[in-house]
C-alpha cells in the first residue's frame, strides 16, 4: 500500500470513520456477479461444460464480456 493511501485512511478515521467497508454508491454496479446470475449460469455449466461463452451468454441474457467477468 502506498503512503498516500495510508495517509488518506488515517485522515478518514481521524475524522470519525469507523468502518473499513465501502459505502453504497449510486450508479452502475462494479460487477454483475450476483446470486441471481450465478443461479442462472451454474445449471447450464453442469449440464454441458463444452458450450461456448457466446451460447451461455445468450441463454442467460448477458453479453459475452459480462459473462467472462463474472
Give tens-digit pLDDT for 5-19: 899 989 988 999 888
Domain count of the fold of the chain: 1
User: What's the rounded Cα separation, in Å, for the pair 4 and 49?
Assistant: 45
Q: What is the pLDDT of residue 41?
A: 87
Vertex 69, ends 63 and 70: CA angle to 5°? 90
Q: Classify residue 21: in a domain, yes or no.
A: no
Cell of 51: 458450450
Range of the domain at 65: 31-70
Q: Classify residue 61: in a domain, yes or no.
A: yes
pLDDT band for position 70 (50/70/90)?
A: low
Q: Classify residue 6: in a domain, yes or no.
A: no
Q: Classify residue 62: in a domain, yes or no.
A: yes
Helices (H), 1-70: 3-14, 35-47, 53-60, 64-69
Q: Classify residue 8: in a domain, yes or no.
A: no
Q: Classify residue 12: in a domain, yes or no.
A: no
Q: Is the pLDDT of residue 31 over 80?
A: no
Amino acid at each position: 500500500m502506498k503512503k498516500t493511501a495510508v495517509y488518506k485512511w488515517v485522515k478518514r478515521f481521524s475524522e470519525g470513520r469507523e468502518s473499513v467497508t465501502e459505502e453504497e454508491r449510486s450508479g452502475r454496479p462494479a460487477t454483475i456477479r450476483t446470486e441471481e446470475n450465478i443461479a442462472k449460469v451454474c445449471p447450464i455449466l453442469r449440464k454441458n461444460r463444452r458450450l461456448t461463452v457466446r451460447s451461455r451468454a445468450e441463454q442467460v441474457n448477458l453479453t459475452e464480456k459480462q459473462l467472462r467477468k463474472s
